[in-house]
A and B are shown apart, each in its own frame.
Chain A
Amino acid sequence: EAQVTQNPRYLITVTGKKLTVTCSQNMNHEYMSWYRQDPGLGLRQIYYSMNVEVTDKGDVPEGYKVSRKEKRNFPLILESPSPNQTSLYFCASSLKRGGFYEQFFGPGTRLTVL
């Protein structure tokens, strides 16, 4: 089954404790990205990746890191989480050959930073 998986689905942590949210897709997609969703603000892109070893900042990259060592995986790293990073996070992937295509979203990770 074609899908995007994220782990964990729920996480409660404390300020400053490094964490990683994993994202994996099995569709051989080139383009992967991370979004955060906050009430009234819609989906805001954090980082995206055009392919292996190619990453770039989205609209709200501060406080986040990503890596793309393999085509299928795109982990999101919070080196020192703060309460303002409490949010619902979505990973997404799509084909990217010239133009943009349908984004496939993961189920989401609800993060609370105390």
Chain B
Amino acid sequence: GQQVMQIPQYQHVQEGEDFTTYCNSSTTLSNIQWYKQRPGGHPVFLIQLVKSGEVKKQKRLTFQFGEAKKNSSLHITATQTTDVGTYFCAGPMEAAGNKLTFGGGTRVLVKP
């Protein structure tokens, strides 16, 4: 079936280092959203990308939407302990109407 995959599933990062998490869809996405869920918390919206090839930055976070609108990435520079959590991508697949499909998430652990 239609699905959204995220890799890696887990990411152990040394504090201060950079890392990237990837989101890949089996079909074209109308747009893509990214969420962060802190341990024990609920998902919180980070950003939405709509245009093919779009790049947006939020401080140390850089989000990119692929040219074909089937993949996206989140790059974090100079990782801090406050970055700990699970990052999810989500998107409405163009053929799936108004359903929202989430990726499995990337769980980020930061080593001080």
Interface of A: prevailing SS: strand
Closest Cβ of chain B to A52, distance in Å, is 15
Closest to A103 in B: B45
Which of A35, A96, A103 contacts B98 (CB under 8 A)? A96
Whether A100 lies near B100 (C-beta < 8 A) is yes
Q: Are B42 and A107 in contact (CB under 8 A)?
A: yes
A104 touches B45 (CB 8 A): yes
Q: Is B9 at the interface (CB under 8 A from chain A)?
A: yes
Q: Is A10 an interface residue (CB 8 A)?
A: no
Question: Shortest beta-carbon distance, B63 to chain A, in Å?
Answer: 14
| Total number of residue pairs linking A and B with CB closer than 8 Å | 64
Query: Residues of B contacting A105 with CB < 8 Å?
Result: 42-44
Range of interface residues on A (Cβ < 8 Å)? 20 to 34
- Whether A102 contacts B45 by the Cβ 8 Å rule is yes
A106 at the interface (CB under 8 A from B): yes
Interface residues of A, Cβ cutoff 8 Å to B: 31, 33, 35, 40-45, 48, 50, 56, 58-59, 90, 92, 96, 99-108
> B-side interface residues toward A, CB under 8 Å?
1, 6, 9, 30-31, 33, 35, 42-45, 48, 50, 88, 90, 92, 97-105
Instruction: List 11 interface pairs A-B (beta carbons < 8 Å), by A numbering.
Output: A41-B104, A42-B88, A45-B99, A48-B99, A48-B100, A56-B98, A99-B50, A103-B33, A103-B35, A103-B43, A105-B43
